[in-house]
Amino acid sequence: MVLPLGNLVTVTAKIPADLRDRLRELGVNISQLIRRALEAEIERREKERLKREAEEAAKILRKIPPDELVESVRAGRESL
């Protein structure tokens, strides 16, 4: 993903010099690696949050009698 320079911010992290040197020797684009790692972490945490929210919704829905749910769905369909 290529972003216009105006949309970028600088994030700094201190790492051992030998780690940086080894990454450079291997031809690793450090900025790209960090971006991908951050994107992966965001995706992981968003999935985790959605899972928790779905579990909470399921707890609430279990308290509602099935016939009430069916009636509510039917009423919603009929209103369209």
pLDDT in tens, 47-61: 999 999 999 999 998
Per the structure, the complete domain to which residue 66 belongs is given by 13-78
Q: Would 70 be classed as within a structural domain?
A: yes
Residue with tokens 């972003």: 3
Report the pLDDT value the prediction gives residue 78, as an integer from 0 to 100: 85
Beta strands in the chain (DSSP E): none
Q: Is residue 3 part of a domain?
A: no
Determine if the pTM surpasses 0.85.
no
Rounded CA-CA distance 69/75 in Å is: 10
Q: Identify whether 6 is part of a domain.
A: no
Mean pLDDT check: name the lowest of 5-14, 16-25, 51-60. 5-14
CA end-to-end distance (rounded Å), the chain: 40
Q: What would the two tokens of residue 28 be?
A: 């690793």
